[in-house]
Homo-oligomer: A and B are copies of this chain.
Amino acid sequence: MTDTAEFPPGPERPAGWLSADRIAKVRSQLPILYVDAVPVRVDDSGDVVAVGLLLRVTPEGVMSRALVSGRVMYHERVRDALVRHVEKDLGPVALPQIPASPQPFTVAEYFPTPGVTPYHDPRQHAVSLAYVVPVLGDCRPQQDAIDLAWLTPEEACAEQVQVEMNGGQGLLLRQAMAHVGRLP
Which A residues are within 8 Å of any B CB, using their own CB? 18, 22, 26, 28-33, 40, 42, 44-48, 72-80, 82-83, 97-107, 109, 111-113, 116-118, 125, 127, 129, 132, 134, 171, 174-175, 178-181, 183
Contact = CB atoms under 8 A, between A and B. Distances in A.
Contacts of A72: 31, 127
A183 B97 CA distance: 21
Given A101-B181, A105-B103, A117 B77 contact: yes
For the residues of A in contact with B, the DSSP-based class is loop
29 contacts: A18-B29, A22-B29, A26-B29, A31-B33, A31-B72, A31-B73, A31-B76, A42-B98, A44-B83, A45-B80, A45-B82, A46-B82, A46-B100, A47-B79, A47-B100, A48-B100, A74-B125, A75-B116, A75-B125, A97-B134, A100-B132, A100-B180, A102-B181, A103-B106, A104-B104, A106-B179, A117-B181, A174-B183, A178-B179
B75 A113 contact: yes
Contacts of A105: 101, 103
Copies in the complex: 4
A34 to B, nearest CB: 10
A178 B103 CA distance: 11
